[in-house]
Structure 1
Amino acid sequence: MNVHPLAAVLSAREVQEQWLRRSIALVPCGHAFAAIRMPTDLVHTAARTHHPEQVRIYLTHTLHGPVLTDRTTHHHYALVPPNTPHDLPDHPHTRYLGTNTYLGLPRPDLTHPTTHHRYHWIIPPNGQQLCPPEAVSTLLRRAAR
């Protein structure tokens, strides 16, 4: 199993052990990446669809970086550079996750919803590429229209 490139702040062994036990590794934000938490409904509004494949296509073309979802809390997480401004999510229901917060990163192969996993990747990581902050801003502006 490959180690998630964004989990560089943990040892490969720690990440693999967490993935083997729970299929998710709890990783601190603010070092290798930060995240913008967005309600799923907000993402669907921006994408102008609820259809999972169409949402994936929209996010791929809009965010250009890794996005995961938590189907239990109904949130999407766009992984952004750790130096992203904290006030980027200019929407009342979004939140910047940086230093002193943790995010569960699913195994890289969890790219579709399953009955056994609450988290999966909508857009899996591709090396060290993260979502540009301006792309997340574009998504949020589109959702507000």
Structure 2
Amino acid sequence: MNAHPLAAVLSAYEVQEQWVRRSIALVPCGHAFAAVRMPTQLVHTAARTREPEQVRIYLTHTLHGPVLTDRTTHHHYALVPPNTPPIESHPNTRYLGTNAYLGLPRPDLTHPTTHHRCHWIIPPNGQRLCPPEAVSALLLKAAG
């Protein structure tokens, strides 16, 4: 549990408690990580596919850090370092830093299910986060 990005913000007990109750932990951004919210369609445009496994492969090779998706709102979230300047190079993206919260699914939720609205496309792997330049490059590719 200590290797998860939540560890620096919430106690292991708080995280587990939220995951047990709701399978998602609501975490403040801007401390252990920030996030960039991107429309799913934008990610599909950059990846040049809508096929989930191909999108996962593309994001793994492009962003090199944790990415989750919310199928209800049709957004992807790339977790970036907390000191990242706001990345909003596309009008439909939003930088989530201090004063924002993000619901992070349990680490084992790595595939869509009928019971969970969010899952990890790329689950957290230690303290590694998406490099901001990689997120910016994805957004530029989608816009171009």
The alignment's TM-score, normalised by the length of structure 1, stands at 0.96
Structure 2: segments with no counterpart, 5+ residues? none
Q: Percent identity?
A: 83
Q: Distance in 2 between matches of 1:3 and 1:119?
A: 22
Q: How far did residue 4 of structure 1 move?
A: 6.3
Q: How far did residue 5 of structure 1 move?
A: 1.3
* Superposed CA RMSD: 0.9
Q: Distance in 2 between matches of 1:3 and 1:67?
A: 19
Q: Distance in 1 between matches of 2:49 and 2:2?
A: 33
- Which runs of structure 1 show a deviation greater than 6 angstroms over 4 or more consecutive aligned residues? none
Quote the residue 1:66 is aligned against.
Answer: 66
Q: Find out whether 1:84 has 2:84 as its counterpart.
A: yes
Q: Distance in 1 between matches of 2:2 and 2:131?
A: 23
The alignment's TM-score, normalised by the length of structure 2, stands at 0.97
Within a 5 Å distance, the mapping from 1:132-143 to structure 2 comes to 132-143=131-142
Within a 5 Å distance, the mapping from 1:116-127 to structure 2 comes to 116-127=115-126
Q: Distance in 2 between matches of 1:4 and 1:40?
A: 27
Q: How far did residue 80 of structure 1 move?
A: 0.2
Quote the residue 1:56 is aligned against.
Answer: 56
Within a 5 Å distance, the mapping from 1:1-145 to structure 2 comes to 2=1, 5-7=4-6, 8-86=8-86, 88-145=87-144
Q: How far did residue 14 of structure 1 move?
A: 0.5
Asked if the contact 2:3–2:125 (Cα under 8 Å) also holds between the matched residues in 1, the reply is no
Structure 1: segments with no counterpart, 5+ residues? none
Asked if the contact 1:39–1:74 (Cα under 8 Å) also holds between the matched residues in 2, the reply is yes
Asked if the contact 1:4–1:108 (Cα under 8 Å) also holds between the matched residues in 2, the reply is no
Asked if the contact 1:43–1:76 (Cα under 8 Å) also holds between the matched residues in 2, the reply is yes
Superimposed CA distance per residue, residues 51-94 of structure 1 (whole angstroms, 9 cap, x where no aligned partner): 000000000000000000000000000000011111x2211000
Asked if the contact 1:111–1:121 (Cα under 8 Å) also holds between the matched residues in 2, the reply is yes
Q: Distance in 2 between matches of 1:95 and 1:47?
A: 19
Superimposed CA distance per residue, residues 120-140 of structure 1 (whole angstroms, 9 cap, x where no aligned partner): 000000000000000001100
Q: How many equivalent residue pairs?
A: 143
